[in-house]
Amino acid sequence: MRGLTALILSLAFYSGLAAHAATDLSPIGCAWDKLSAAEQTRLRDEFKVELRKGSFDILFANPDAASAGDAARQCQLNVTPAQIEHLALGLARRAAEEKAKKGIVDHGESADSVKTALGKVHEGKREVIGDALACPGPHTMVGEWDESLKGAIRRANLRFQDGRAYSFVSLALYAILAQEGTMRRMAGTADACSPN
């Protein structure tokens, strides 16, 4: 009987972890679909990566709370002004995901590879990275984060013909983790961003 109880508790623990890891991004998906084509293009075009010696900076697009609020209303999301600010940040990160996936496809590989690699990301790192990248401003990459995502991509065993596509998988992963962070902030389950 004790063994059965331990098994049930263990299953509950691990299913709780899985539920925690699988942050629902559907509000961002709906809001993205409600944005005008011009706003989607602006958000994609403003996403940049600046290379630095031994590192790089990710610059997500400038969020637009007014567009995000309008999209939220069209999606019938019941959100506060503070949550709209986080949703706007999430939409800027969704644009980065879209642009990165286009980079994968442009190099002759499948954008589905991102989902495969995402399943290999360490859960603890997934949350830490996502919560940090969900904050406003440019983000300088942390070597430990980059190594963690490179490890996830290796474990995904993608076997790309064009090795240049791997960097776009990393960028898409960063963008998805950042979206998860914005959703956690909208739900009040992530710490507030540190002031710059």
What is the mean pLDDT of the segment spanning 72-77? 97
Task: Report whether pLDDT(113) > 60.
Answer: yes
Task: Record the pTM.
Answer: 0.87
Which has the closest alpha carbon to 23: 192, 190, 184? 184
pLDDT at 1: 45
146-181: per-residue pLDDT in tens? 999 999 999 999 999 999 999 999 999 999 999 999
pLDDT at 129: 96
The letter for the amino acid at 151 is: G
**Other residues' Cβ atoms within 10 Å of the Cβ of residue 36:** 11
pLDDT at 98: 98
- Contacts of residue 177, defined as CB under 8 A and 6 or more positions apart, other chains included, come to 121, 126, 129, 130, 133
Dist CA 25 CA 195 (whole Å):
26
Task: Report whether pLDDT(49) > 70.
Answer: yes
The pLDDT confidence band at residue 48, using thresholds 50, 70 and 90, is very high
Task: Report whether pLDDT(14) > 90.
Answer: no
Question: Worst-scoring range by mean pLDDT, 10-19, 71-80, 112-121, 138-147?
Answer: 10-19
Dist CA 184 CA 89 (whole Å):
12
For the chain, what is the radius of gyration of the CA atoms?
18
Dist CA 77 CA 74 (whole Å):
8
Which has the closest alpha carbon to 81: 63, 92, 68? 68
Between the alpha carbon of residue 35 and those of residues 21, 27, 73, the distances in Å are 27, 13, 11
Percent of the chain past pLDDT 90, that is, above it, reads 82
Q: List phi, psi (to 5°) of 148.
A: -65, -45
3-state secondary structure the chain: CHHHHHHHHHHHHHHHHHHHHCCCCHHHHHHHHHCCHHHHHHHHHHCEEEEECCEEEEECCCCCHHHHHHHHHHCCCCCCHHHHHHHHHHHHHHHHHHHHHHHHHHCCCCCCHHHHHHCCCCHHHHHHHHHHHCCCCCEECCHHHHHHHHHHHHHHCCCCCCCCHHHHHHHHHHHHHHHHHHHHHHHCCCCCCCCC
The pLDDT confidence band at residue 196, using thresholds 50, 70 and 90, is low
pLDDT at 194: 82
Dist CA 122 CA 187 (whole Å):
22
